Amino acid sequence: MTSLAIALLVSLAIAAVILACSRGRHAAWHDHELRGVQKFHARPVPRVGGVCIAGGLSALVCWVGLTGRGPHAELLLVLLCGLPAFAAGLLEDLTKRVSATTRLAATMVSGAMAFFMLDAQLKSVELPVLDWLMNYTVFSLAFTMIATGGVANAVNIIDGYNGLTAVVVSVMLLSLSYVGWQVGDNLVVSVALAGTGALMGFFVWNWPRGLIFLGDGGAYFLGYLVAVLSFLLVSRHANEVSPWYPLLLAIYPVFETLFSIWRKRIVRGHSPGIPDGLHLHMLVFRRLVRWAVGRRDAASLTLRNSLTAPYLWLLSSLAALPATLFWRQPTLLKLFVAVFCVLYVWLYLSLVRFRAPRWLMVRGRRGGLLSRFKDDL
């Protein structure tokens, strides 16, 4: 737990420094776009929270190097391999000029570096044809790169509301640390706990007030971490950890991405890269969190924003819990993957067609708990 505490304190401190330096409303690292289809905040906010995550993990590497308590060389390599993904995202946060294709390519480069430097690769996915292809290094490398880029992009897609990504990814990392502990993989345990600690330090400032955002640098780097730790677990402990475990663990952002591609390309005939306002978390914001609908004052927007994330925390936990319980059992993992996909589609269609159950909707009452929460904001 030392790694978690160190990363938490460092992340917390870095976020405090960023906020102290962000009092000017026109800082380069602020998100000034307030009216885009994917924007739901009421004032410019720093979007360089990824620095907190990278700083927390860097602190762990320094501590292990000074004390000798841990796999320092491997920890350093994990951080080094993630540098392209983090740097491309952070550069976009600062300049708004890095294309989505460039950022995706950078995350794939991170995956390739982890493939060669950490031996983070999948040798089996428990599907006959793919398993045969995995025997060829070129295919295994391509699969690792695409999977790393896909998970990083998936985490970035769900990063839209206060606290959403921080909690969803924290749950994934805690699960990875638990399974790593079960199989005796100290590297996975250390990195996963440090990532969780860094996210907790960031979360204090991000939810519910939304004082700082992860930004692309944070989202891509976290996606890289989840992907690489998953590859390490499965490749190092192939006889114990099913490759369907990390898929179920990350199925919420992964299926969100695949469903969005299908919805945009097949159903609407648009490019998957064009942003729209029809992601699941956006529908939850518009259709379920109906407190103060239509109001644009900062407190109302912040409250609605913050009340959106818990819906998705619960949804992602419905996958993370069985993944953590049944990480050795591929048949059950496959079953839960299918169940989650059906549940996701049902919820999505219910929201699109205005048929969501009334008990899911949040409605505030004057003088009630939500009103007092708004006043505190």
> What pLDDT, in 10s, does the model give residues 247-282?
999 999 999 999 999 998 888 777 777 777 889 999
* Predicted pLDDT at 71: 78
How do the domains of the chain map onto residue ranges? 2-376
Query: 3-state class of 232 per DSSP?
Result: helix
Q: Which residues does the chain have with pLDDT short of 50? A: 37-38, 292, 367, 369
278-331 per-position pLDDT tens digit: 899 999 988 888 654 555 566 777 788 888 999 999 999 999 999 999 999 999
* Predicted pLDDT at 144: 94
Cβ contacts of 42 within 8 Å, gap of 6 or more: 34, 296, 297, 298, 301, 302
* Predicted pLDDT at 245: 97
Q: Token match 């192939």: residue?
A: 238
User: Which burial class, exposed, middle or buried, applies to 131 when counting CB atoms under 10 A from its CB (0-12, 13-18, 19+)?
Assistant: middle
Token pair listed for 108: 């794939």
Cβ contacts of 310 within 8 Å, gap of 6 or more: none
* Predicted pLDDT at 131: 82
